[in-house]
Amino acid sequence: MCGWCGRRDVMKRWPAWLAVVLVGCSVVRAHVVGISMAQGQMTGATLELVVGFAPADAQQLLNPEDRPEGKWTQPGFDAAKPQLLWLAPQLWEVTSGGSVLKPAEVRVELLPGDNVSFRLLFVRPIGSDKLKLRATKLSLLPPGHREFVIIGGANGATVAKKLLNAQDDTMEIDLTAATIPIAKASEPAASQTASETTNTFWSFLKLGVEHIWTGYDHMLFLFALLVVCRSFRSIVTIITCFTLAHSTTLALATLNLVNLPSRFTEPAIAASIVFVGVENLLRRGAEPRGRWALTFAFGLIHGFGFASVLRELGVGENGTSIVMPLFTFNAGVEVGQISIAAFVLPLVWRLRKREWFLARGVPALSAIVSAAGLYWFLERTIFA
């Protein structure tokens, strides 16, 4: 069989591949990494833990027969409340001196936005100087779920913080750091703070990488931009514009200087994918003029999507530090972005040397990109 005949047979399969991608879009969700937030406060001998879960995550913690159908409603929440109150003491295992502490008080509330909030109150034994906390139910949540824990002391300072997951679900609190005066707190807790800071640094860096790798809408948008690039200079320009744009809105949104609700940003992100895919189709594989400006404009929108992750973690709330999480998460996004480019570009450059790829491959890939973006747009608007 001649080489062209083989390539022609491959081209005939593009419609089938497109159908496979469309079916795949129905089961693949963008931003599959789940996020939850736990805030603790040490006051005297008591530790108050407030844990918030998104509706879908809270439902995963319940028995299948007790899960509300669709959105949480107050009647549905009231029906599930006995099960939630039974579940609440099991969310955290708190130990001190080898003894497991039972919560002295448990509350469950349905907050605005359908988020479910659990409040647990623990009383530590007199004389204990350390607490060990383990989030026992993270393994029941979807793979990749993260829970950001911040513990504050009586002096108002943050004494412990960590990004937990199913494989690393434990943290320790130095109670001496939680109760000593502010003026003397820094030196005794220095080694622990350094350890926690290092752990949190790498956790947020990894979270940024995972977000771009599992945020299939961001990844598809980046691919659609790169597939028509013809020179190294244009690639650098595209990636730089996207980085500057999403870094700007990520910082502004996380600092609460500019806030765009996800009900607007998520459809807009999907629309940006459709637009770039259609533009690639109309240009028949050629690199559109002024693509850098378009990339910057759409990058601003994607930055709001990145910021939603840090907002869900409560970064910057109640006086918690925002600089390190913001910097490391954004750095992780860039590492993930560059790694995608490093993998995709050599393949694209080799393929772009072949006429059949320029004539049929790029349009077919652009059609797939547009179809996926259209599916996500409909899912986030009409079928939301």
DSSP 256-313: TSS---HHHHHHHHHHHHHHHHHHHHHTTTSPPTTHHHHHHHHHHHHHHHHHHHHHHT
CB 378 within 8 A of CB 263: no
pLDDT in tens, 80-139: 889 999 999 999 999 988 889 999 999 999 887 678 889 999 988 877 778 899 999 988
Over residues 7-31, mean pLDDT: 43
Q: Which of 205, 358, 345 is nearest to 287 (CA)?
A: 358
Where is pLDDT greater, at 114 or 198?
Answer: 114
| % of the chain with per-residue pLDDT over 70 | 79
- In Å, how far are 42, 46, 103, 128, 149 from 124, measured between CA atoms? 10, 6, 10, 7, 19
Mean pLDDT of the chain, nearest integer: 78
For the chain, domain boundaries: 15-31+215-380, 35-200
Give the per-residue pLDDT at 1. 44
Size of the chain in residues: 384
Instruction: Check whether 5 has a pLDDT greater than 60.
Output: no
**Strand-by-strand arrangement of the 46-53 sheet:** 105-110, 116-123, 46-53, 35-43, 146-152, 158-164
State the Cα torsion 337-338-341-346 to the nearest 10°.
-160
Instruction: Check whether 78 has a pLDDT greater than 90.
Output: no
pLDDT in tens, 295-316: 999 999 998 888 877 766 666 5
Give the per-residue pLDDT at 179. 53
Distance CA 50, CA 195 (A): 24
Give the model's confidence band at 373: pLDDT under 50 very low, under 70 low, under 90 confident, else very high.
very high
Give the model's confidence band at 25: pLDDT under 50 very low, under 70 low, under 90 confident, else very high.
very low
End-to-end CA distance of the chain: 49
Give the per-residue pLDDT at 313. 66
Given the DSSP bridges, would you call strands 158-164 and 105-110 parallel, antiparallel or unpaired? unpaired
User: Cα-atom radius of gyration of the chain, to the nearest Å?
Assistant: 24
pLDDT in tens, 255-270: 778 878 878 888 999 9
Would you tell me how many other CB atoms lie within 10 Å of the CB of residue 24? 12
CB 248 within 8 A of CB 304: no
